[in-house]
Structure formats: structure tokens, C-alpha cells
A and B are shown apart, each in its own frame.
Chain A
Amino acid sequence: MWKWIRIGDDLVVKRVGIGGWTPFAIAWLCLLAFALGGAPTGQALAATDEITVRAAVDRQEVSKGETFVFQIEVNGHDAPAEPDLSGLVDFQVEPRGGQQNSGTSISIINGQVSKVVRKGYVFQYGLTPRKEGLLRIPALAVKMGGQTYETEPVDIMVRKPVESKDLRLRLDLAKTECYVGEPVELAVTWYIGKSIKGFQFTLPVLDDPVFGATVATEELPAGQQELAVIIPLGRTKVAARKDRGVLDGQEYTTVSFRLSLAPRKAGELLLPQATVQCQALSGFRQRGGRDPHGMFDNNDFFHDFFNQGRQEVYQTLVAPSNQPTLTVLPLPETGRPAIFTGLVGEYGIAVQASPTEVNVGAPITLTIQVAGPSAVKNTEIPTFKDNPLLIRDFKIPEEMAAGETANGITTFTQTIRASHAQVREIPALELAYFNPKSKTYALARSQPIALVVRPTREVRIEDVEGGSGSPAQAEKKTEIAALEGGIAHNYEGPDALRGQAIRAEDWPNSSGWLALLILPPFCYVLFLGGMIFMRSRRRDPAGQAARKAYEEFLRDLKVMEKGVPEGSAVFYARLAEAMRAYLGKRLHRPSAALVYGDVEGLLRDRGVSRETLAALQDLLARCEAHCYAGGVVGEGSDFLAELALARTVVADIEGRLR
């Protein structure tokens, strides 16, 4: 905007902006607003993506047991819900997290500002095919913005893995025939004949409920811990042992671990093929493009020196396992106890109770230990409802918590309460199992536990009111002891999303701390300065008096102005006194007998003008005349004029003396 402005006698044109802001500044502010905020008008220029969903894989031909990358790419939305992967029945799915894929770009062409906002999200998974052939990743649903979008199906060709002589995988059963539910050990051994890095096992037997497979834990002896290799297996992990072994006359490095199978159905069960995928060293290639004179700048200099300039080349290999057959015999029906729950092997049971002397209704903790070839679940031991004596004499909770297994013994804990005072013992608990060696059913039995159950004390009204001070009252008081361990609740309020400063590191930078550090010394310095100033003034009373002289003079004149004159003599005496007091203090002279002659020289030296000196002399002379010569003030005497004159004269003198 242009404006006429007068500068001196000239009128000139000056370019001004709106409200004093130049157009250049306004343009940049608008651009900033569009870029950072997206103003309502700015949105008309912004471009965004429509929502699309796409499935992508890093390759479409893999071997069975080989993991490939599967991505679901979402464009147009950056907060989609987790996709529904329930349709991926032919694959083992390993989630690998997700990340946003959003961004903003601004372009200015011919003054037109356009902003492109790109929103996106990528879900990534590792998929491992469970079988061979042409498999299909079906269309998967992704929900966002209240709508459901589907990906396109993707076909994957899964080849049968081929065993190589350098990488071999073996499954060995401890025995090939067993009964339903009988624990059988399965040894998994990987024979490695070349350098490898990174590996992943796929054991479908763990996911097949027919085999009831669990990971067997093995503690390596002290001193051999360095031989342990931790191998993730889906949701669990196993400590494998690294060793040397021979297979078909060839020596290998071996990695081995054990699983425990407990087949759940009879028949000839073929173990599903396991695979192990790894990156195996396949050769070397020469490093290219290296400046021979720059070798001392090259970070890989030492690596190249020992490898003679070669780079290792790895390829993905998949080693398939053999598939042994396990013959599972059905358990005989003859002689099966009613309380049999499926345990196969040789088992024992022991029960302990504490306390053994209780009142009716008081809790008794039962510790039940079951020894056997494998861990026992709480559903596999007989429930207390199978024992009529227990039901008759005790109150028993509906459910029992899962047991803890250590060193082949599973321990369960249960709380029971005696129902009446005639209870004399906790009866023996029985555990039925099938012994595969004798091929018959057997019962393990615990020892009964003697109990002393006292009748419950009758509670009277005075006990309830607490007046009797009886032992029962004292027994009721218990200390509330804190239980150690466990964690506290999550935080769910909006405070958890606020940005916070790191207190231990950033505290010196906070304004509160700066204020605390600066304010007290600042106040101290102020106070100290004031005190020094006051003390210096007190050391010079004459100087202090001189500084106050003018104010006191004006105050005296004001008093005289307000008061009624008592006669000219009194008036002039007071005026003279005020003037002498001022001059005496100001010029450091005794004021009582001060006359004009005492101060004339001093005032002239300090630059007081002749007119002021003359006026002062006249005024003092008039004062003396009225005081001592009895001069009579005629009808024309003007007190106020005299006071004004005195004020003017003294003001002029004060001005020169400062």
C-alpha cells in the first residue's frame, strides 16, 4: 500500500504495509501459516492421498520353512487398526511391528503454494509357510476411519526344501512306540558343516495339539554355560547345547535340544517335518571400486588385509528334517480307575498339611507334591470332589491353582477348612496312572494326616462390643503386613501424554531455579547498597543538613503562608530566621547571627547573579528593619509577595549551589 508522507516541505510517497507490516513480512507470515498449520484457505491448496491398502512380499518363491517378509502398506491414513490375520492358516506369523510412513511437502510454482500431505502406515510380518505347493495369502481386512479395506491376495510358491550335506537336521525319538499320554523325548539336532550367521527354527510339532509337545528344560553343568545357545521357538525359547558330532561319517558342529511329547491320540503318527533356515557362507567375492592409495583412509583396511580384499557372500539355506513315525497305542479300557485322568508313567503323590491343630472353619494349607516323568497340570490330578470323605468333612474351593514344577516334582497348594469338630484326619489322596512297563493301571496314594479340630468358640454380645477384653478379642487383632513383590497400576490419565523435562539433567535450565538462585542475592545486594548509602550520609551531618535545607525552607514558607500574620515584626523575624537557617545550612555557617556580608562572597563565588544577591540583600535588610528598627508595615505591605520573592531568591540560589 502506498501513502503520501510529508517530510519537511516535501511530499513523498512511501510504501507501507497493512497495520505497519510490510507486504514482504505479511507474505512470509501467510506462507508460514500455510506450511505449518494449514489455514482454511490453505487447505484448498493441500493435496492428500485417498486411502488404499496393499499387500507386498519380498519374494514369491520360497522353500518350506523359509521365512519371507510380508508387508501391508496403508496409504492415506496413519493410524489403522491391526489387520485381521486369522486367514493365514498356512503360515506361521511373526509380527515385526509397524511404523508410520507420513510426510509433508510444499511446492511454490509461479506464486502458487501447494502442500501435499502424505499419510501412511506399514505393518510388517515374517511369514513361514507350513506346507509345500502353491499357497495363497488371502485378502486381509484393515479397519480405519470407520471403514474396512481389503488387500489383494498374494500367491506364494513353496518348494520342498532339499537337504545339503553341510546343513542337516535330525529328529530322534527316544522310543518309537508309546501309549497315549506317555511322555516321549524328542531330540532335535542340527548338524552344521559351514559358517553361518542368523538362523530360525520352525517346529510344527510344537503347534500340533495331537503331540502335546513341550520344551524340555536342561541345565548345563557349571563351567559349560558357554556351550549354551538360546533359540527362540515361537512364543517360547529353549537353551540348546553346542557340541561336535558325527553323522554318516562326517564331523559337524552340532546344536541340539530336547522336546517332550505326550501324544493325545492313538495311531501311527508321522511327525511333521521341521526346518531350520540360516544364512550360510557360500563364497567370497572381490571388493570393487577401492582406491589403492586411499587404503589408510578405508575403515575396512584391516578386514581387507586379512581377507585379501574379499567380501563374504551368504545365501539363505533351509535344512529339512526327517519325519520319524511314532506308534501310539491306546490305553486299555480294562481296569481303568474312575479317577484316572490320563497320566502315563510312574507317579507318586505326597501331601502335607499345615497347621494340623485348627478351629472349625480355620484354613488348612495342603501342599500336594506329584512326582513323575513330566510336569503335571492341575486338571490331571484328581479333584477333591472325587473323594467323598473330603467333601463330607471339609469345605473345598472350586478351583485349584496351577502347580510349579522343579526337579521332576510338581507342587500344588490348596486351602481347605474343616466343616465340623468331629474331623480327625485328612484322608489319603489317590492318583491313578497307567504304567507302560507293567501295562497296567496303578494307584499312588498319600498318607492320611491326623488333625485336631476344635469347636468354634461361641461369640457373645460382649465379645462383639469389645468390653470384656477376652482372649477372643485379642486374637481378632491382626497386623496388616505388607506383601512384597508385584507391581502397581498403570497411569491412564492425560498427564502421561504431556512432554516433561528431565529433572536430574535439566533442572539448572528451568526459570524457577534461575529465579531462586538470582533473587536472594539480588535482594541482598540491593539492601547492602542501601545501607552503605545511608551510612555514608550519616557520617556527614553537615552535608545532610545542607541537602535538606531547601526543603525545610519551603516547608517553613508554606507554614507562614497558611498562618495569620501576627504583625509585621513577627512575620519578618520568622522570614529572616528561615532565610538565615537556609543559608547557614547550605553554606555550612552558623545561622543564628548570619548577616548578608557573611554570605555575599560565598554566594558570588558559587555563581549567584548580582540581581539575586541584590534582591537577597534588600530582603534581609527589610527583615532587619522591621525586626529591629520597628518599621511599620503600611497598608500596602504584602506578606504573600514577600514570601514569593523569598521563594524566588532562594530557588535561584539553590539552583546555583547544586
Chain B
Amino acid sequence: MRGKMRTLALVLILGVLCLPASGQATDREAIFAEANALFHEANSALASDPAVAGDLFRKSLLRFERLVAEGVQNGQLYYNIGNVYFRLNDIGRAIASYRRAERFIPDDPNLRQNLSAALAKRRDAIEERQEERVLKTLFFWHYDLSFSQRAMLFGSFYICLWGFALIRLKTQRPFALWGLMVALVGASLFLGSLLADRFFAVAKPQGVLVAPEVMARKGDGDAYQPSFQEPLHSGTEFILQEDRGQWWRIELADGRTCWVPSWSGERVK
């Protein structure tokens, strides 16, 4: 009798808690549908009236960003936001949104395609460091395989490792030892790769310049000399090294560092 009463009370409370959640979900679906409808309309108007299309894209963007502001953290949503910015020719914010989406859906083929398209439209050509290229050659499995592929390979090697360890208990044949060693090496390599993903995601915050043009400087103020002959442009990616409120010290892909005003960039995280 006691158990039944407790169960009934729990069911009532859970049912009540679900009521506002379901109402909130319907609102979000409506806003999401509206945003996509505006995006479609804007696409249709793009060829004939770019100004109207731009307004429609901006309205669509407001709705998508509202969903994010309400707490929806989803890779596909960030991907859609990136598409709107791409259409608005705001390459910097498009890349930032695609990078945010990449944190959730790193293996999505559409995301990879769109990110490539956005990266191709960047104005600044910054070659990556020689060391980076060497690392990419040496650790090709980390850079060439997707997160899911590496995770699956690690899982496979890991299970094989323990399987061969079990076989070694029963037999001393060489194949068991070799299998154990290969599985150990494979599991270590891919585990290291996955842990590196986690470490760099946290320790090295990424960012993207979103201002159309910004003059990078040698110090945290306009009085300092510019770092480069030409300004940096929207879409240039960086790693944030230091945050001094109004100014950021950033590292570009080629390892060079400079200072930019914090309003000119956005952090990916």
C-alpha cells in the first residue's frame, strides 16, 4: 500500500513537471519553423532583390539566435546559423558558427562542405607553421580521421587488447603476444588522439575575426605600431592567448602573435 502511494505521488509530480516543458518545446518548434521559412524566402529573393533577401536573412538569424539564447545547444542549429551568416557574406561569423557546430557534430559531411566553402572565401592567406605540417604528417591518423572513426578504432583496439590478453592466459603462442602488442600500440595511439582533442578543446580556445578589417598591433592599444603591413580580415582564425578585456593577444595559424581589439573577434566556445 505504501509503495503504491509513493509511486502515485511520483507519477503526479513528474507529470506536472513535464507540462511547461512541453509548452516550451512547441514554442521553440514554431520559432525554428519560422526561421527556416524566412531562410527559404530569402534564398528565393536572393537573385532578384538582394536587399530584401538580406532583411529576410537577418530576420531568420534573429530567430535562430533566439533559440540559442533560450539554451538550445545543438550542432545542427549552429550549422544553420552559419549558413545564414554565409548568405549575408559575413564570413567571419559564418566560420565561428560552423566551428561551434563542429564541437557537437564533427563528422557531419554537410558541415565539412560548408566550412570548406567559408574558409575558401577568406581573404587572408596565412600558411600554417612548418611544425604543424610535420605534426600533421607524423600524426596523420589524428588529423585525417574523424572523431567517430578514431573513437571506433580505439574501441576496437581496446577490445582486441583484452581479448589477446585473455588468450595469453591460455596459450603462450607467439601470435597471442604479437596481437597483444599491436592492440596495445593501436589503443594507445588512438586514446592519445582522443585525449589530445579534449585537451586542446579546453586549453587552447579558438576564435575567429569577425570585423571586416582590423589593424593588428604590437600591443594592447591603438598607440602601438601595427604588427603587419595590411589589416587582418574577417574569417581569419586564431588561438586566444591572452584576454585583457578590450584587447586580445592572438596567435595566427603561422605562429605569429599580435593584439586585436576584442570587439573584432569572437570566441568559438
* A-B complex is real: yes
Residues of B within 8 A of A491 (CB): 76-77, 79-80, 110
Interface-forming stretch among B128-136, B193-201, B235-243?
B193-201
> Which chain A residue shows the least CB distance to B159?
A520
Residues of A within 8 A of B16 (CB): 33, 36-39, 42
Residues of B within 8 A of A528 (CB): 169
Q: Which of B202-218 contact A (CB under 8 A)?
A: 202, 211-213, 215
CB–CB B20/A21 < 8 A: no
CB–CB A490/B162 < 8 A: no
Report if A507 contacts B (CB, 8 A). yes
Q: Which of A530-581 contact B (CB under 8 A)?
A: 531
CB–CB B104/A507 < 8 A: no
Residues of A within 8 A of B104 (CB): 500-503
Other-chain residue from A79, A99, A228, A489 in contact with B69 (beta carbon distance below 8 A) = A99
CB–CB B17/A36 < 8 A: yes
> Which chain A residue shows the least CB distance to B62?
A97
Interface size on A, residues (CB 8 A): 62
Q: Which of B56-80 contact A (CB under 8 A)?
A: 58-59, 62, 66-67, 69-77, 79-80
CB–CB B198/A505 < 8 A: yes
CA distance A237 to B62 in the complex (A): 21
CB–CB B213/A507 < 8 A: no
Report if A499 contacts B (CB, 8 A). yes
> Which chain A residue shows the least CB distance to B8?
A19
CB–CB A38/B67 < 8 A: no
Other-chain residue from B6, B29, B75 in contact with A19 (beta carbon distance below 8 A) = B6
Other-chain residue from A32, A82, A497, A531 in contact with B25 (beta carbon distance below 8 A) = A497
Residues of B within 8 A of A32 (CB): 13
CB–CB B202/A505 < 8 A: yes
Report if A337 contacts B (CB, 8 A). no
Report if A508 contacts B (CB, 8 A). yes
Report if B231 contacts A (CB, 8 A). yes
CA distance A29 to B16 in the complex (A): 12
Report if B12 contacts A (CB, 8 A). yes
> Which chain B residue shows the least CB distance to A239?
B213
Number of A-B contacts (CB under 8 A): 167
Report if A388 contacts B (CB, 8 A). no
CA distance A180 to B102 in the complex (A): 53
Report if A23 contacts B (CB, 8 A). no
CB–CB B166/A225 < 8 A: no
Given A222-B229, A500-B74, answer yes or no on A507-B151 (Cβ-Cβ < 8 Å).
Answer: yes
CB–CB B75/A226 < 8 A: no
Report if A292 contacts B (CB, 8 A). no
Report if A235 contacts B (CB, 8 A). yes
CB–CB A20/B162 < 8 A: no
Other-chain residue from A18, A504, A521 in contact with B198 (beta carbon distance below 8 A) = A504
CB–CB A33/B17 < 8 A: yes
CB–CB A79/B83 < 8 A: no
Report if B181 contacts A (CB, 8 A). no
Report if A488 contacts B (CB, 8 A). yes
CA distance A313 to B132 in the complex (A): 49
Residues of B within 8 A of A520 (CB): 158-159, 161-163
CB–CB B198/A230 < 8 A: no
Other-chain residue from A223, A230, A498, A499 in contact with B229 (beta carbon distance below 8 A) = A223
Residues of B within 8 A of A225 (CB): 213, 215, 229-231
> Which chain B residue shows the least CB distance to A121?
B66
CA distance A19 to B1 in the complex (A): 7
> Which chain B residue shows the least CB distance to A486?
B117
CB–CB B13/A20 < 8 A: no
Given A98-B62, A498-B74, A520-B158, answer yes or no on A21-B5 (Cβ-Cβ < 8 Å).
Answer: yes
Other-chain residue from B33, B67, B117, B213 in contact with A487 (beta carbon distance below 8 A) = B117
Give the interface centre of A97, A98, A492 by most chain B CB atoms within 10 Å: A492
Residues of B within 8 A of A517 (CB): 158
CA distance A239 to B231 in the complex (A): 13
Given A19-B1, A499-B73, answer yes or no on A487-B83 (Cβ-Cβ < 8 Å).
Answer: yes
Q: Which of A579-617 contact B (CB under 8 A)?
A: none
Report if A655 contacts B (CB, 8 A). no
B204 to chain A, nearest CB (A): 12
Residues of A within 8 A of B126 (CB): none
CA distance A29 to B28 in the complex (A): 29
CB–CB A228/B9 < 8 A: no
CB–CB B165/A490 < 8 A: no
Q: Which of A36-88 contact B (CB under 8 A)?
A: 36-39, 42, 79, 82
Other-chain residue from A230, A499, A503 in contact with B103 (beta carbon distance below 8 A) = A503
Report if A2 contacts B (CB, 8 A). no
CB–CB B86/A505 < 8 A: no
Report if B255 contacts A (CB, 8 A). no
CB–CB A503/B231 < 8 A: no
Report if B172 contacts A (CB, 8 A). no
Other-chain residue from A18, A37, A493, A500 in contact with B75 (beta carbon distance below 8 A) = A500
Residues of B within 8 A of A289 (CB): none
CB–CB B147/A492 < 8 A: no
Given A79-B27, A503-B147, answer yes or no on A527-B155 (Cβ-Cβ < 8 Å).
Answer: no
Residues of B within 8 A of A230 (CB): 211-213
B183 to chain A, nearest CB (A): 11
> Which chain A residue shows the least CB distance to B197?
A504
CA distance A484 to B114 in the complex (A): 11
Q: Which of A460-495 contact B (CB under 8 A)?
A: 484-495
Report if A108 contacts B (CB, 8 A). no
CB–CB A516/B27 < 8 A: no
Report if A7 contacts B (CB, 8 A). no
CB–CB B165/A524 < 8 A: yes
B5 to chain A, nearest CB (A): 2
Other-chain residue from B12, B67, B169 in contact with A531 (beta carbon distance below 8 A) = B169
CA distance A78 to B106 in the complex (A): 34
CB–CB B73/A500 < 8 A: yes
CA distance A135 to B58 in the complex (A): 28
CB–CB B83/A82 < 8 A: no
Given A496-B32, A503-B103, answer yes or no on A523-B162 (Cβ-Cβ < 8 Å).
Answer: yes
Other-chain residue from A239, A487, A501, A504 in contact with B86 (beta carbon distance below 8 A) = A487
CA distance A489 to B84 in the complex (A): 11
Other-chain residue from A38, A42, A497 in contact with B29 (beta carbon distance below 8 A) = A497
Report if B120 contacts A (CB, 8 A). yes
Given A487-B86, A492-B36, answer yes or no on A19-B169 (Cβ-Cβ < 8 Å).
Answer: no
Give the interface centre of A19, A36, A485 by most chain B CB atoms within 10 Å: A19
Q: Which of A211-238 contact B (CB under 8 A)?
A: 222-223, 225-226, 228, 230, 235, 237
CB–CB A237/B212 < 8 A: yes
Report if A355 contacts B (CB, 8 A). no
B 114-150 binary contact with A (CB < 8 Å = 1; else 0):
1001101000000000000000000000000001000
CB–CB A235/B51 < 8 A: yes
Residues of A within 8 A of B9 (CB): 19, 21, 26, 29
CB–CB B166/A527 < 8 A: yes
CB–CB A496/B76 < 8 A: yes
CA distance A562 to B84 in the complex (A): 88
Given A494-B29, A516-B155, answer yes or no on A95-B58 (Cβ-Cβ < 8 Å).
Answer: yes
> Which chain B residue shows the least CB distance to A82?
B59
With A20-B6, A33-B17, A502-B104 known, 19 other A-B pairs at CB within 8 A are: A20-B2, A33-B13, A33-B16, A37-B16, A37-B17, A39-B12, A39-B16, A82-B59, A228-B213, A239-B213, A486-B117, A491-B79, A491-B110, A497-B29, A497-B72, A504-B197, A508-B198, A516-B155, A517-B158
CB-defined A-B contacts under 8 Å, sample of 6: A225-B215, A491-B110, A499-B73, A499-B74, A502-B73, A504-B147
In the A-B complex, the 10 residue pairs with the smallest Cβ-Cβ separation, listed nearest first, are A19-B5, A37-B16, A520-B162, A491-B76, A496-B76, A20-B2, A488-B110, A487-B114, A37-B17, A504-B197
